[in-house]
Amino acid sequence: MARKFFGTDGVRGTANQYPMTAEVALRIGAAVGRYFRNDGTNRHRVVIGKDTRLSGYMFENALTAGLTSTGMNVFLLGPVPTPAVGLLTNSMRADLGVMISASHNPAEDNGIKFFGPDGFKLSDEAELEIERLIEDGVEPVQATNIGRARRIDDGRFRYIERIKSSLPRAVPLRGVKVVVDCANGAAHRAAPEALWELGAEVIPVGVNPNGLNINKDCGSTQPRLACETVVAHGADVGICLDGDADRVMIIDEKGNVADGDQIMGLLATRWADEGRLNCGVLVATVMSNLGLERHLKDKGLRLERTAVGDRYVVEAMRKGGYNLGGEQSGHIVMTDHATTGDGLMAGLQFLAAMVESGQLASDLVNTFETVPQMLKNVRYAKGQAPLDVNAVKSVIADSELALIGKGRLLIRKSGTEPLIRVMVECEDSALLKTVVDAVVDSITEAVST
């Protein structure tokens, strides 16, 4: 069965445009309600969190209507990070967790992510079954079995305590000056509060959400503001989150940005030295830099690659019994502490490395030498299939031939946006640029005709 609603991370799109409409959200709520309330009782519960997008109110209400119409009891958390939903789904013994967020996307987009009762994201098989139920339509229960909905006021505080517990008690943050950029998103209160309670001197930015400014000129995908703030305030480090706080970029005291690969490289080697890295394996996606793989091999460790998407990283981790993984984009998954990527938790692990080693952030963010890598995106319209165009196929084939023994080319459709992502990795910078330009130009021409 072909997917109609679900992408690599739930359902996502422009708010008030199909499929991200209130009507579809109600149908989705009813479908997942039917899927999880499978014994007909009213003991089943679902927790719903959201980020700070204006459209979150609409989807929160629509999902609640769909879920309660099938007999599910709904607990509304309000604005909380995505990892908080995974945590609270499990700790509150809920059957389902729902996060309303489009992560790093602009404010006009929104999305719906799902967590099972164990706090992990749903499997492909579960999503396909829910798609079938969405197509079947709403199947309401009798009036006496309609579910209840109520707000939970302490969800953020539960999450903060869990975050704090992931930092070793012997690691004091007193005297550490930290800039935290919350992208005007879900962690705008939780992140500064957690860092302050742990003793850090906190300089918050991106903490004034208005429903329309999430990820705008701030956050992990646009870290310039955080970089400038770190330098201007003489901070020791910057922690730059995205809109739902499941991603992080680290900024050193000089204002340089370290991506997820560098963070994973640091944590993997430290954990291995401490005997904490299960099986000597780090799990990352095909997008991670070849330099990371070489670095791990030199340390006697192994990189296991997956398809793009943190859910696929987590699936590989669970299958292999590994406890550290993530993505170059900043999803860092530590299954000893969390069920999904947690930007703030990863930031705390970096702070622990700084404190325990006595090193500057700039000494820690350059764990390995990267192989030159270039990523460009080409936007396409609904219904277009530029990768099926013969001229594009020909250019891709020629490019792959040119890179044999010198680098690699990765082309894929984004699972969250209408984009073709073109990534080339090659130590020959001239060839790198030539290949990227050739492939991007061919796709651009295909989508413009």
The set of catalytic residues is: 103
Which residues are registered as beta bridge partners of 96? 46
**Structure tokens belonging to residue 207:** 């903490």
Helices H, strands E: what count in the chain? 14, 18
Residue 7 DSSP SS3: strand
Single-letter code of the amino acid located at 16: N
Structure tokens at 254: 């000089």
Among residues 434, 409, 402, 437, which one has the least CA distance to residue 423?
Answer: 409
Separation CA 235–CA 252 (nearest Å): 9
At 410, give phi and psi (nearest 5°).
Answer: -125, 120
Residue 104: C-alpha distances to residues 186, 382, 410, 449 (Å): 11, 21, 22, 30
Q: Are 36 and 95 in contact (CB under 8 A)?
A: yes
49: CB partners within 8 A, 6+ apart: 77, 78, 79, 80, 81, 82, 84, 85, 88, 97, 98, 99, 100, 155, 186
Distance of alpha carbon 311 from its chain centroid, rounded? 9
Give Cα separations from 407 to 294, 327, 400, 428, 432 (angstroms).
14, 20, 9, 8, 8
DSSP structure string for 75-128: EEEEE--HHHHHHHHHHTT-SEEEEE--TTS-TTEEEEEEE-TTSSBPPHHHHH
- 232: enclosing H helix or E strand: helix 224-233
Residue 199 CB-half CA count within 13 A: 13
For residue 110, give every residue at least 6 positions away whose Cβ sits within 8 Å of its Cβ, in sequence order, or none: 12, 13, 15, 20, 53, 55, 56, 59, 100, 101, 102
Go through the chain and tell me how many residues it has.
449
Residue bearing tokens 């959200």? 25
Q: Residue 448 in 3-state DSSP?
A: helix
